[in-house]
Chain A
């Protein structure tokens, strides 16, 4: 059970500051996801923990031990790279054994560890193949297997699903969730730009934006109580409707936020009158983009395959308790009372 703690961690490349005063405290055995748009510093943060980048300022502690100047190999971590980083000239077995041989484990121990990991990931039959003879999903498993065999205290994933196709991504996501359950003692840190991965995998999510930690919380906390307009827009799919102008001013805010699933649609009465411009039917849900007179374009979620014609006139009413209000700097204003 390895806790990870970052105290006022800063990182600059030359004069470019990519991380500013990051304070985080991860409990042992936790699955934490760093999420944010590209360039927010999430991968850099992961690489600082791995030791692939030096910490410019601040402290990194693993299990209460200061790690700033400890070599990557001595930190008790494993990392799964976005590109898998398998050695192309070695077989699957050799790929997994390479680091273990370096750690001076006995050949029997190495074989046992690899067999166990291979079994867990169902890659036993590929042990003698080269990475180029494997599919993307198989390579991914080998990369995860290689990381498992090191029996790390902290498991790091750097966007591990981004090179897989959509169907495989969902499968692998589930496998990683299952892996976390099996390795319950291992702390896992997972970097992604995909908020769906973050929501489904994480015990806690760390939302990063432009080198700052915007919010830390459980997926549902972030969904229900975003600490900023950025988090509100980033978490949830499709994204929250942000409405400015009169509607927001009426609530004493600069921006009025409401998620598509929190808007009621009626054909005869409601708060905002508008015309349906576009519908997206996904089977389980239908999303209607409604052009309203007072609130501009609003995206509304309709349950099931409810049919609604494009060009139809409809009325929208936001659910009062689900409204989020933000000031012009993007910070939340007190919760709206009544619409």
Chain B
């Protein structure tokens, strides 16, 4: 037992063996990653590359194969009329495009803020134990479980200016005198879309925040009880900082979704300047106006705007998370 085995390994072969082992591990890692990478390249990278390519051509829907490279003309082009006069054309000079960028950002900002606030409240309520909590949890999730097209259609009917139940109820309650054309009037269209999105997506936020709340150790609250910390200070000083990472992830998810919003706007308020988002604008040009290259340029910009906002948000919040020395 005590004798040292004669075949004890010299040092050099041992390192050779471990490095061969780790080489093998790296190789099998690539092997397992390969299918995912190939599929991702096929369904994400290639379409993205094609879109960017088309945005530099004069492609139209029926002449995709004969697309010619035209440089930045879809984005920005100065046309000289020869008489000392000229005009800017292209996406970057199109006020309709900038209007839809603004619509999208406004929509994302307001809807995500409201969803975060309501989601937080709902999550805090659901985090408490009360009889029938499971049922309430299930009920809260219903709006999120309904397909967007269905709920958008449903709300469009409910908000209908002549036959909608919302106008009927508000009139009976005496809150409005005449029916409001919620989705058709430019003043209320965005409000209607945001309201429906908040109704639909708050459960998702609530669920993610609830998961964050459940990660907070119970003894944190017990220590605070011994210190006699009142509920509001407890929430501000203990709960909120501890769920902040989960909250930020939820906000990034939602912001990404909101910036590409399409279905709810397209179904509820088609063809309105008041609610046209970047996605709706791109689709219009791609397929309705037969300006495929121009639509591709819009899609490309949409991609970069979302990427920039997301990267900026992640960067800013990480700074916040780590740089909390005060």
- Residue numbers of A with Cβ under 8 A of B are 50-52, 71-74, 77-79, 81-83, 85, 87-89, 98-99, 102-103, 128, 150
Contact B220 A87 (CB under 8 A): yes
Contact A71 B228 (CB under 8 A): yes
Distance in angstroms between the alpha carbons of A71 and B242 in the assembled complex: 25
Q: Which of B222, B227, B242, B325 contacts A98 (CB 8 A)?
A: B227
Contact B227 A102 (CB under 8 A): yes
* B323 vs chain A, min Cβ distance (A): 12
Q: Point out which of A85, A103, A128 has the most chain B C-beta atoms below 10 A from its C-beta.
A: A85
Contact B228 A89 (CB under 8 A): no
Contact A99 B228 (CB under 8 A): yes
* B252 vs chain A, min Cβ distance (A): 20
Q: Which residues B218-251 have CB closer than 8 A to chain A?
A: 219-220, 222-223, 225-229, 233, 237-238, 241-242
Which 9 residue pairs spanning A and B have beta carbons closest together?
Answer: A73-B228, A99-B227, A85-B219, A85-B223, A89-B241, A81-B219, A72-B226, A72-B225, A102-B227
**Chain A residue nearest to B222 in the complex (CB):** A52
User: What are 18 A-B pairs at a CB distance below 8 A?
Assistant: A52-B226, A72-B228, A73-B225, A73-B228, A74-B228, A77-B226, A78-B226, A81-B219, A82-B219, A85-B222, A87-B223, A89-B242, A98-B229, A98-B237, A99-B226, A99-B229, A102-B233, A103-B228
Distance in angstroms between the alpha carbons of A269 and B306 in the assembled complex: 91
Q: Which residues of A contact B217 (CB under 8 A)?
A: 83, 85
Interface majority SS (helix, strand, loop, mixed), chain B? helix
B177 contacts the other chain (Cβ, under 8 Å)?
no
- Tell me the count of chain B residues lying within 8 A, CB to CB, of chain A: 17
Contact B226 A83 (CB under 8 A): no
For the complex with contacts A51-B225, A103-B228, A150-B227, 13 further pairs of A-B residues with Cβ separation under 8 Å are A52-B222, A52-B226, A72-B228, A79-B222, A79-B226, A81-B223, A82-B219, A83-B217, A85-B217, A85-B219, A89-B242, A89-B324, A99-B227
* B168 vs chain A, min Cβ distance (A): 49
Contact B223 A88 (CB under 8 A): no
Chain B window 256-281, contacts with chain A (Cβ cutoff 8 Å), 1 for yes, 0 for no: 00000000000000000000000000
Interface majority SS (helix, strand, loop, mixed), chain A? loop
* B84 vs chain A, min Cβ distance (A): 64
Distance in angstroms between the alpha carbons of A99 and B230 in the assembled complex: 11
Contact B242 A50 (CB under 8 A): no
Q: Which residues of A contact B222 (CB under 8 A)?
A: 52, 79, 81, 85
**Chain A residue nearest to B238 in the complex (CB):** A87
**Chain B residue nearest to A156 in the complex (CB):** B226
* B292 vs chain A, min Cβ distance (A): 51
Distance in angstroms between the alpha carbons of A202 and B219 in the assembled complex: 26
Q: Which of B219, B228, B233, B238 contacts A83 (CB 8 A)?
A: B219
Q: Which residues of A contact B233 (CB under 8 A)?
A: 102
Distance in angstroms between the alpha carbons of A88 and B227 in the assembled complex: 16
Q: Which residues of B contact A79 (CB under 8 A)?
A: 222-223, 226
Distance in angstroms between the alpha carbons of A88 and B228 in the assembled complex: 19
Distance in angstroms between the alpha carbons of A334 and B288 in the assembled complex: 102
Q: Which residues of A contact B226 (CB under 8 A)?
A: 50-52, 72-73, 77-79, 99
